[in-house]
């Protein structure tokens, strides 16, 4: 299937094992976390089989991602020091957030995460022996101690706390730029995601919440988060910020909002969902 006519959300079928030969294929080339772009191709597209064959880059590893209406798509890991071939350039994953449609962004994020997982698991973390790619699932296996290493995902919660017509937004102490966002944090071992919501909100701003409502989720490949979005209602307490994490946190009326998070992020969707319901 031609990339330009494909609907990635519908036509992409994820997979792990491919047949050996195919007349056409697509290649997402990753080098040191950056993605290869064909000069002049707007919006971005992966390399075709011929482009990949003749661009002069050597793969360090190849990962089948699935197929697009029958045409296989691969992630290609190339040397972090690889030079850009003439007619191509590497671009950071961040730039794709705003330059491609979301299903394409998630496909690129998938390629980058698989390449990074592979790079970080050449050797077993327990015994140090070399690992090998398992034939049937997405794992690296250690033959000597039988451990398996799967691509790492880090589940995180992200929550919009509301109080009547107001929302609680915070400015992160480490974020660049002056914008306010929802609260977020990583799930810890032993926690349910609901427990994470209660703990993170209390740690970061010192308030208690109730009536959690799951909203939706987003793959966030910086480097490997899975964001689980919630709405929650204020229950009790005064804002007391955790200064290492939060520079400022305030209640904002939905008609008088500060600089908000980007609309391609789940944080932006949560805020937008609330504002739509209020207005
Ligand atoms: Zn081992």
**Averaged over 25-34, what is the pLDDT?**
96
Domains and CATH numbers, the chain: 3-120 (3.90.79), 154-278 (3.90.79.10)
How many A from CA of 150 to the centre of ligand 1? Answer: 14
Q: What is the pLDDT of residues 100-128, one digit of tens each?
A: 999 999 999 999 999 999 999 999 999 99
If you count them, how many residues does the chain have? Answer: 279
**Averaged over 196-222, what is the pLDDT?**
97
Q: What is the pLDDT of residues 59-113, one digit of tens each?
A: 999 999 999 999 999 999 999 999 999 999 999 999 999 899 999 999 999 999 9
Q: What is the pLDDT of residue 263?
A: 82
Check: CB of residue 201 under 8 Å from CB of residue 193: no
275 C-beta neighbours (distance < 10 Å), count: 14
Of the pLDDT bands very low, low, confident and very high (cuts 50, 70, 90), residue 147 is very high
How many A from CA of 122 to the centre of ligand 1? Answer: 11
- Listed residues: CB within 5 A of ion ligand 1: 124, 126-127, 129, 142, 144-145
40 C-beta neighbours (distance < 10 Å), count: 6
How many A from CA of 130 to the centre of ligand 1? Answer: 8
């Amino acid at each position: 299937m031609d990339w330009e006519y494909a609907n990635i959300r519908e036509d992409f079928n994820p997979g792990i094992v491919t047949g050996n030969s195919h007349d056409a294929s697509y290649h997402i080339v990753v080098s040191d976390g950056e993605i290869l772009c064909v000069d002049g191709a707007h919006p971005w597209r992966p390399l075709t089989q011929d482009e990949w064959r003749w661009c002069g880059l050597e793969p360090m590893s190849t990962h089948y991602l699935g197929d697009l209406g029958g045409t296989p798509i691969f992630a290609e890991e190339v040397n972090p020091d690889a030079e850009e071939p003439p007619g191509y350039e590497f671009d950071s994953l961040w730039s794709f957030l705003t330059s491609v449609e979301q299903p394409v962004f998630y496909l690129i994020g998938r390629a980058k995460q698989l390449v990074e997982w592979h790079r970080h698991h050449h050797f077993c973390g327990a015994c140090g022996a070399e690992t090998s790619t398992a034939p049937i699932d997405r794992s690296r296996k250690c033959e000597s101690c039988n451990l398996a290493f799967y691509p790492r995902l880090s589940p995180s919660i992200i929550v919009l706390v509301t109080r009547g017509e107001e929302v609680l937004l915070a400015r992160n102490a480490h974020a660049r730029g002056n914008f306010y966002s929802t609260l977020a944090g990583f799930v810890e071992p032993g926690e349910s995601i609901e427990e994470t919501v209660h703990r993170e909100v209390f740690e970061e701003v010192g308030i208690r919440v109730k009536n959690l409502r799951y909203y939706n989720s987003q793959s966030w490949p910086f480097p490997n988060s899975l964001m689980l979005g919630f709405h929650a209602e204020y229950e009790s307490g005064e804002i007391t910020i955790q200064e290492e994490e939060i520079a400022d946190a305030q209640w904002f009326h939905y008609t008088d909002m500060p600089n908000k998070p980007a609309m391609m992020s789940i944080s932006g969707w949560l805020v937008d969902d609330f504002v739509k319901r209020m207005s």
